[in-house]
């Protein structure tokens, strides 16, 4: 499409100005950063984990406990930030309404963009260190009983400028605060050497058509970013779903590292507790911390990652509502229902998604890149809008790692430590069967049972 080509050309030109960064919004960023920091201090308290308090025996016991995956029961979630008061709401309501109604949404990776960006004013480090300020629920999260305003902050809202477009987004999954607005039709994602290498290796691979356009590394405010296509730019009030692929969401090296140098994390323990107060073992309760592989394995078993080889991470619907609480969504029936709702039971959209997935499957089968990489934590991003246009993209390669020379993966056989299998193809197959069961195409393909 000429229009798209023109956008890419512009983006490439901009990327060529690497080092100079992207000047758009710099002044505003500085101003808003200060305000953000004030609000952040008001809203959040950093909880410190005194790991030094744990002795070696406790750590070893924790590692042993990590091998056990407890039975999960459902408990209500808790919020972390202070509750936003009525006056806060009045301040931002206008901005939010504008955002949701315009919904000029853009994304790459597992983020979804509305109009003005909190990430324009918050770095990932800021969000991580304070733990509470994220962009995740700028639109209404209707899950469970948590009002969205209770969970997340509103730091950017007072600074919304109606003139600026495509600069704000809601991140459904992954690390918060990883994105900034790029030039027209593009966004900036926090630099990851691993992801950069993947984008470079994907150039010329058959998968290139199914991943965001990549325009190199640019600098903003002294930090490097990956410059890439805004996947949502050509949609009108799109609905977006992020599905994390594979039977495993942590790298083998993370397991090895945790075994050799166990690091106990209070934040992951807290997240576990929020979902199920009985999930941590007595030892973990005592320590008030868990290792990352232990947390990740628990998350996988709780969701459909283990049983289906993919899980739903987040959904943003056309009406602006966000749904990110799929941690306990595991059964095929539940997932099917969620897909049906997401696509508003529209057969055109479902068929379109299915045919995109079939093309992706074909490309994956012949991709040299795919053959030689352990693909962990990567997602398929589903996007459609009221015109029935529907696309699926492969995103998030921060944990996709090249195999040693000569080694290849099957992507379907079960994982055993050492074989580095990720179950991506198995998950894709199950995903296609799930979608297929909603259309007249899926049911004829032999067994409808997930593998
Ligand atoms: C997070 C999620 C991320 C992971 C992050 C987890 O859990 O699994 O994928 O980052 O680890 O906390 P949740 O979805 O329950 O919030 P990576 O994929 O980069 O490992 P982190 O806390 O170490 O960033």
Instruction: Please state at what angle helix 332-342 crosses helix 424-436, rounded to 10 degrees.
Output: 60
- From the CA of 424, how far away is ligand 1's center (Å)? 18
Mutate to test the pocket of ligand 1, among 137, 268, 289 (most ligand atoms within 8 A of CB): 268
pLDDT of residue 141: 45
Query: Given this model, what pLDDT does residue 183 score?
Result: 86
The pLDDT score that the predictor gives to residue 281 is 97
Alpha helices in 303-377 (DSSP H): 305-308, 332-342, 347-366, 368-371
pLDDT of residue 73: 23
Find the length of the chain. 451
Give yes or no for residue 314 CB within 6 A of ligand 1. Answer: no
In the prediction, which pLDDT does 364 show?
98
Q: Give nearest CA residue, ligand 1 atom 1.
A: 174
What is the torsion angle, in degrees rounded to the nearest 10, for the CA atoms of residue 186, residue 190, residue 194 and residue 199? 0
pLDDT at 128: 30
Q: Return the residue matching tokens 């500085």.
A: 30
Euclidean distance between CA atoms 155 and 36, whole angstroms: 5
CB of residue 271 inside a 6 A radius of ligand 1? yes
Q: Determine the pLDDT at residue 214.
A: 97
Per the prediction, the chain carries an average pLDDT of 71
Question: What pLDDT score was predicted for residue 392?
Answer: 98
206 CB burial (10 A radius; 0-12, 13-18, 19+): middle
Ligand 1: which residue has its CA nearest to atom 4?
A: 174
Q: List helix spans (H) across 245-346.
A: 252-260, 266-275, 282-287, 292-302, 305-308, 332-342
Q: How far is CA 299 from CA 73, 137, 291, 310, 389, in A?
A: 13, 20, 12, 12, 33
CA angle 22, 96, 220 (to 5 degrees): 15
Query: What local confidence, expressed as pLDDT, does residue 178 receive?
Result: 86
pTM of the shown model: 0.69
State the closest ligand 1 atom to the C-alpha of 299, by its place in the atom list counted from 1: 15
pLDDT of residue 166: 42
| Segments of the chain scoring below 70 in pLDDT | 1-176, 440-451
pLDDT in tens, 93-143: 333 333 322 222 233 333 333 323 233 322 333 333 222 222 332 344 444
How far apart, in whole angstroms, are the C-alpha atoms of residue 107 and residue 114? Answer: 9
Query: What tokens were used for 431?
Result: 């995903």
């Amino acid at each position: 499409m000429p229009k798209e080509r023109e956008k890419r050309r512009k983006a490439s030109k901009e990327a060529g100005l690497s080092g100079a960064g992207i000047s758009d919004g710099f002044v505003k960023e500085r101003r808003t950063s200060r305000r953000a920091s004030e609000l952040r201090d008001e809203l959040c308290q950093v909880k410190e984990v005194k790991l030094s308090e744990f002795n070696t025996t406790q750590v070893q016991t924790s590692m042993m406990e990590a091998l056990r995956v407890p039975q999960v029961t459902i408990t209500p979630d808790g919020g972390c930030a202070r509750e936003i008061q009525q006056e806060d709401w009045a301040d931002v309501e206008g901005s939010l309404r504008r955002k949701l109604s315009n919904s000029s949404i853009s994304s790459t990776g597992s983020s979804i963009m509305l109009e003005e960006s909190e990430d324009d004013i918050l770095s990932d480090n800021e969000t991580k260190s304070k733990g509470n300020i994220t962009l995740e629920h700028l639109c209404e999260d209707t899950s469970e009983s948590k009002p969205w305003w209770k969970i997340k902050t509103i730091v950017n809202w007072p600074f919304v400028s109606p003139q600026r477009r495509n600069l704000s987004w809601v991140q459904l999954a992954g690390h918060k605060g990883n994105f900034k607005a790029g030039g027209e039709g593009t966004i900036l994602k926090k630099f990851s050497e691993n992801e950069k290498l993947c984008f470079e290796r994907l150039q010329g691979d058959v998968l290139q058509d199914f991943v965001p356009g990549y325009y190199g590394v640019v600098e903003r405010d002294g930090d490097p970013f990956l410059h890439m296509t805004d996947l949502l730019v050509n949609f009108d009030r799109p609905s977006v779903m992020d599905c994390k692929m594979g039977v495993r969401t942590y790298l083998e090296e993370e397991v090895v590292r945790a075994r050799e140098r166990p690091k106990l994390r209070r934040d992951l323990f807290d997240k576990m507790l929020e979902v199920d107060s009985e999930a941590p073992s007595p030892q973990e309760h005592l320590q008030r911390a868990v290792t990352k592989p232990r947390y990740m394995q628990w998350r996988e078993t709780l969701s459909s990652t283990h049983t289906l080889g993919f899980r739903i991470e987040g959904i943003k619907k056309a009406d602006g509502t966000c749904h990110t609480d799929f941690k306990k969504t595991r059964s095929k029936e539940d997932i099917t229902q969620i897909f049906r709702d997401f696509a508003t039971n529209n057969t055109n959209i479902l068929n379109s998604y299915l045919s995109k997935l079939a093309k992706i499957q074909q490309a994956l089968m012949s991709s040299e890149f795919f053959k030689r990489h352990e693909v962990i934590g990567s997602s398929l991003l589903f996007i459609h809008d009221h015109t029935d246009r529907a696309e699926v993209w492969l995103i998030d390669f921060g944990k996709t790692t090249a195999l040693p020379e000569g080694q290849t993966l099957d992507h379907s056989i079960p994982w055993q430590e050492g074989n580095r299998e990720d179950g991506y193809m198995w998950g894709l197959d199950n995903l296609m069967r799930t979608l297929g069961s909603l259309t007249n195409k899926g049911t004829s393909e032999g067994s409808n049972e997930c593998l």
